[in-house]
C-alpha cells in the first residue's frame, strides 16, 4: 500500500472508532445526578405506598368495627330470643 492509501485507511478507522466510542449523548446527566433522581423517585414511591397502605388499613379497621357492631347486635338479639324462649318454656312447665 502506498502512504496515501494507508493514511486514508488509518484516518477512516480512527474516525469510525471515535464515532462508536461515544455511547452517551452530549446532554446526558452525570451518574451522581441520575442516582440522586432515582433516590428521590424511590422516596416518592415509598411515601405513596405508605399512604395507600395507611388508607387501606383505615378502611379495614372501619369494616372490622362495623362487623363487630353487627355481631354484637346479633348476639343481643339472640340472647333476648333465648331469654324469651326460656320464659315461655318455664310458663308452660309451671302451668301444666
Residue 56 falls inside a structural domain: yes
Residue 89 falls inside a structural domain: no
Residue 29 falls inside a structural domain: no
Residue 14 falls inside a structural domain: no
pTM strictly above 0.85: no
The total number of structural domains in the chain stands at: 1
Q: What gap in Å lies between CA 96 and CA 85, rounded to an integer?
A: 17
Residue 30 falls inside a structural domain: no
Residue 63 falls inside a structural domain: yes
Residue 53 falls inside a structural domain: yes
Domain of residue 72: give its range: 40-83
Residue 6 falls inside a structural domain: no
pLDDT per residue as tens, the chain (96 positions): 577 787 877 877 787 766 666 565 556 677 778 888 888 899 999 999 999 999 999 999 999 999 999 999 999 999 999 999 999 888 888 876
Amino acid at each position: 500500500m502506498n502512504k496515501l492509501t494507508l493514511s486514508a485507511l488509518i484516518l477512516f478507522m480512527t474516525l469510525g472508532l471515535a464515532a462508536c466510542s461515544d455511547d452517551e449523548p452530549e446532554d446526558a446527566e452525570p451518574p451522581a445526578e441520575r442516582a440522586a433522581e432515582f433516590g428521590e423517585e424511590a422516596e416518592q414511591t415509598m411515601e405513596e405506598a405508605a399512604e395507600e397502605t395507611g388508607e387501606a388499613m383505615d378502611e379495614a379497621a372501619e369494616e372490622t368495627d362495623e362487623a363487630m357492631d353487627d355481631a354484637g347486635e346479633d348476639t343481643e338479639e339472640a340472647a333476648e330470643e333465648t331469654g324469651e324462649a326460656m320464659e315461655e318454656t318455664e310458663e308452660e312447665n309451671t302451668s301444666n
